[in-house]
Amino acid sequence: MTKGTAQFVGIDVSKQHLDVGFYPAGRHWEEQYDEAGILRLTKQLSEQPVELIVVEATGGLQIPLVASLVAASLPVVVVNPRQVRDFAKALGQLAKTDRLDALVLARFAEAVRPELRPVRDELSQHLAALMARRRQLMEMLVAEKNRLHSALKPLRKPIKTHIAWLQRQLKQIDSDLDSAIRASAHWRTQEDIIRSVPGAGQGLARTLIIDLPELGQLNRRQISALVGLAPYNKDSGHSRGRRAIWGGRAHVRAALYMAALSASRCNPVIRPFYQRLRQQGKPFKVAITACMRKLLVTINTMVKNQTPWQAVAADQA
pLDDT digits (tens, 9 = 90+) for 74-83: 999 999 888 8
What is the C-alpha separation between 257 and 266, in angstroms, rounded? Answer: 14
Answer yes or no: is 223 within a domain.
Answer: yes
Question: What length does the chain have?
Answer: 317
Helices 81-90 and 98-112 pack at an angle, to 10 degrees, of 90
Answer yes or no: is 117 within a domain.
Answer: no
**Given 160, 183, 206, which residue is the final one in a domain?**
183
161 and 225 part of one domain: no
168 and 258 part of one domain: no
Neighbours of 114 (CB within 10 A): 15
DSSP 8-state secondary structure symbol assigned to residue 91 = T
pLDDT in tens, 179-207: 888 888 888 999 999 999 999 999 999 99
179 and 279 part of one domain: no
| Structural domain of 150 | 122-183
Q: What local confidence, expressed as pLDDT, does residue 111 receive?
A: 93
100 and 132 part of one domain: no
Q: What local confidence, expressed as pLDDT, does residue 241 receive?
A: 63
Answer yes or no: is 297 within a domain.
Answer: yes
Q: What local confidence, expressed as pLDDT, does residue 235 receive?
A: 61
Answer yes or no: is 262 within a domain.
Answer: yes
135 and 74 part of one domain: no
Q: What local confidence, expressed as pLDDT, does residue 124 receive?
A: 80
For residue 172, the SS3 value is: helix
63 and 190 part of one domain: no
179 and 194 part of one domain: no
194 and 317 part of one domain: yes
Low-confidence residues of the chain: pLDDT under 70: 1-4, 118-119, 121, 232-236, 238-243, 245-246, 311-317
Enter the pTM of the model. Answer: 0.74
State CA 89 to chain mean position distance: 24
What is the C-alpha separation between 225 and 214, in angstroms, rounded? Answer: 12
For residue 77, the SS3 value is: strand
**Given 151, 183, 215, which residue is the final one in a domain?**
183
Answer yes or no: is 2 within a domain.
Answer: no
Q: What local confidence, expressed as pLDDT, does residue 2 receive?
A: 45
CATH code of 75's domain? 3.30.420.10
216 and 261 part of one domain: yes
Number of domains within the chain: 3
Is the CB of residue 13 less than 8 Å from the CB of residue 55? Answer: yes
Query: Does residue 154 have a cis bond before it (omega within 30 degrees)?
Result: no
Answer yes or no: is 40 within a domain.
Answer: yes
User: Residue 95: phi, psi to the nearest 5?
Assistant: -70, 150
174 and 231 part of one domain: no
**Given 183, 201, 230, which residue is the final one in a domain?**
183
Answer yes or no: is 1 within a domain.
Answer: no
